């Protein structure tokens, strides 16, 4: 099992999860984070740290698309191991529907 970053991270990109990850398995895109499924040790400490509730265990139904996206982009986006400031409009986007279709960016973030 692994944890998966899902749609609500898009345009929120809070990084509380990055701070607590003991194996540094988070990778940064321009407007969201992903978890490398082969590096995640299933410790679960990241899930309750996410203010946007955008981290889920891969055992939840309906997450196969997000598991694929996390796997794909964690191979090309830079690793991030320290918390940075979220976007200034993160609260505005927290909970908005259809963020993937409207706002997802495949561009990499800054990383560490």
40-51 pLDDT, tens digit per residue, is: 999 999 999 999
pLDDT tens track for 59-85: 999 999 999 999 999 999 999 999 999
Residue 64 pLDDT: 94
Give domain status of residue 50, yes or no. Answer: yes
The whole-angstrom separation of Cα 51 and Cα 39 is: 23
**Domain assignment present for 89:** no
Q: Is residue 99 assigned to a domain?
A: no
Q: What CATH number is given to the structural domain containing 23?
A: 3.30.70.20
Whole-number pLDDT of residue 107? 97
Query: Residue 1: pLDDT above 80?
Result: no
37: closest CA among 81, 68, 82, 7? Answer: 68
Angle at 77 between CA 19 and CA 5, to 5 degrees: 55
pLDDT tens digits, 16-41: 999 999 999 999 999 999 999 999 99
- Domain containing 69 equals 3-83
Task: Classify residue 59: in a domain, yes or no.
Answer: yes
Mean pLDDT on 91-108: 96
- 28, containing H or E segment: strand 26-28
Report if residue 104 sits inside a domain: no
- Give the global pTM: 0.95
Closest CA to 53 of 99, 19, 5: 5
Q: How many domains does the chain have?
A: 1
Q: Is residue 27 part of a domain?
A: yes
Closest by CA position to 105, among listed 16, 11, 38:
11
């Amino acid at each position: 099992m692994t944890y998966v970053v899902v749609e609500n991270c898009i345009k929120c990109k809070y990084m509380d999860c990055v701070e607590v990850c003991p194996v540094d398995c988070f990778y940064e895109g321009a407007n969201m984070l992903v978890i490398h499924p082969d590096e995640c040790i299933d410790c679960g400490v990241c899930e309750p740290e996410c203010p946007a509730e955008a981290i889920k265990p891969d055992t939840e139904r309906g997450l196969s698309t997000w598991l694929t996206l996390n796997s794909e982009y964690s191979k090309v986006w830079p690793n991030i191991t320290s918390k940075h400031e979220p976007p200034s409009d993160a609260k505005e986007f927290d909970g908005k529907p259809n963020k993937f279709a409207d706002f997802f960016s495949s561009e990499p973030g800054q990383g560490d």
